[in-house]
Structure 1
């Protein structure tokens, strides 16, 4: 096992060297290390197993345990908490917190933006209302971080179709701009669907779109060009933003949309 064919991930836990040590692989390995103490994958590790696309790239593997005497190896986040039986489920042989419990845990920590991103992704993917987090908070009265749950729930939008779409929406809303409509359908004068916009201010005919890498294939670029032409013909103004824009120039985005809202449609 000490040869070049295997990685030593955690004490007594090895993986083949060919396995990419992404969050899911590290989380599975952490579960093998902790299962003797009844550990359950939680937080972003649960997201990775559940298929939710919200964990940060550098998120540590996270284990929820009921005992306080354990010391985790470097790279594992160990969290002591009490989990009810209905707050856990098995995913491909691994015990993880349920989507609702995972959203509840992530909504209570980290930045406000990261919390809303996690709730949007989990609530949209697993079809529960963000307000259910408030019901869970009543069952866990006094838990750390519960005071900000109402704000997270108010900002959440399960219809968001991507993490970056949520982040673009939060750039606007947290700066004080009106809340845009999510996944707004634009129809032509005959009632035919022209486009479904990520974010929109319909009364102003303003659309905002997050442009991920998938928008830059030749086929998608051609479709987008046709769609933008039809939107412009209907009097819509389309603002397109990239990941770099959202993270590096949020102030400019807010200023651009403020100016757009100030002009008549």
Structure 2
């Protein structure tokens, strides 16, 4: 690919590599929307790029194949998301026309006798219940509809971890949270099954029709400006200190 000013930086080893911004854009522009959003979130979360830099990069790539995915991923990215699966769940909910959920919601339990934590975090959720404010103040959040994604690698169906997960759900539900637990199978297929169930709990209608097919962008060598230099770049590369 043709490199523009600022696209290449020198690593501590001396090797020239693509900048974080260029790398993030290239990855997103050749990927599916869920993976592209996850890439962007990771770069933002690590502080390697900023939202302002990303907006500028999107504008500079106008008209190139893949820029639509890049632009949409930049709009959807939320660095609070902690896994690709959480991001995919959120994108499916938005695709179904449901309101954007809050992420990493903290729930103060005060039940250390049941679970070894005074605060639990919910992956995604919506506050739908309020408790009266103290001394006539503004009411605070009390509960709502929540989604937890349990990946098989970290949430087995049996054993101490499974028992802890069950206790955790009990505590969250006791604090007013209507929790749905999703697994990988819930994200597969064309039917908006979990989206419809979440919509029912929120009292919202879900868009009709099947889920969108997430496919990667095909590379277009003309619009993406592949270099046609007579001497390929790899013939000019030399190891640091070498010839």
Range class of TM-score, shorter chain: 0.5 to 0.7
Could you give the per-residue CA deviations for residues 29-54 of structure 1, whole angstroms, max 9, x where no partner exists?
A: xxxxxxxxxxxxxxxxxxxxxxxxxx
- SS of 1:105's equivalent? helix
Summarize the Cα distance change of 1:141–1:169 in structure 2 as closer, same or farther, 3 Å threshold.
closer
1:210 correspondence with 2:149? yes
Return the structure number with greater relative CO, CA threshold 8 A, min gap 6. Answer: 2
Q: Distance between the aligned counterparts of 1:227 and 1:249, measured in 2?
A: 31
Shift of 1:81: 2.0
Task: Tell whether 2:135 aligns with 1:196.
Answer: no
Q: Is the 8 A contact 2:40 2:77 kept in 1?
A: yes
Change beyond 3 A, Cα 1:240–1:145: same
Please report how far the alpha carbon of residue 246 of structure 1 lies from its aligned counterpart in structure 2 after TM superposition.
1.3
Residues 126 and 87 of structure 1: CA distance in aligned 2, closer, same or farther (over 3 Å): farther
User: Which of 181, 185, 193 is equivalent to 1:244?
Assistant: 185
The answer (yes or no) to whether the contact 1:186–1:196 under 8 Å persists in 2 is yes
Offset, 1:108: 2.5
Would the aligned equivalents of 2:108 and 2:120 in 1 still touch at CA under 8 Å? yes
Does residue 132 in structure 1 map to residue 53 in structure 2? yes
3-state SS of paired residue (1:203): strand
Q: Are 1:256 and 2:200 counterparts?
A: no
Q: Is residue 177 of structure 1 aligned with residue 98 of structure 2? A: yes
CA deviation profile, 1:59-108 (whole Å, cap 9, x unmatched): xxxxxxxxxxxxxxxxxxxxx22144564353778654233222112233
User: How far is 1:135 from its partner?
Assistant: 1.9
1:231 pairs with one of 169, 172, 183: 172
1:95-114 alignment to 2 at 5 Å? 95-114=16-35
SS for the counterpart of 1:185 is strand
CA contact (8 A) 1:119 1:130 kept: no
| Residues 129 and 180 (structure 1), Cα distance of their counterparts in 2 relative to 1, 3 Å cut | farther
Deviation at 1:145, TM superposition (A): 3.4
Question: Once the 2 structures are TM-superposed, how far is the Cα of residue 211 of structure 1 from its aligned partner?
Answer: 0.5
Larger Rg: 2
Query: In 2, distance between residues paired with 1:258 and 1:85?
Result: 45
* CA distance in structure 2 between the partners assigned to 1:93 and 1:140 by the alignment: 28
Please show how residues 10-49 of structure 1 align to structure 2 within 5 Å. Answer: none
Q: Deviations over 1:156-203 (max 9, x none)?
A: 11111111111111110111110001111112479x843111111122
Identify if the C-alpha distance between structure 1 residues 193 and 95 changes in structure 2 by more than 3 Å, giving closer, same or farther.
farther
Q: 1:210 deviation in Å? A: 0.9
Give the TM-score taking structure 1 as reference length: 0.59
Count of equivalent residues: 183
Cα distance, 1:222 vs structure 2:
2.4
How far apart, CA to CA, are the structure 2 residues paired with 1:130 and 1:110?
19
- Structure 2 unaligned residues grouped into runs of 5+: 112-116, 130-143, 205-243
Write 1 or 2 for the structure with the bigger share of helix: 1
Partner of residue 154, structure 1: 75
- 1:115 matched to 2:115? The reply is no
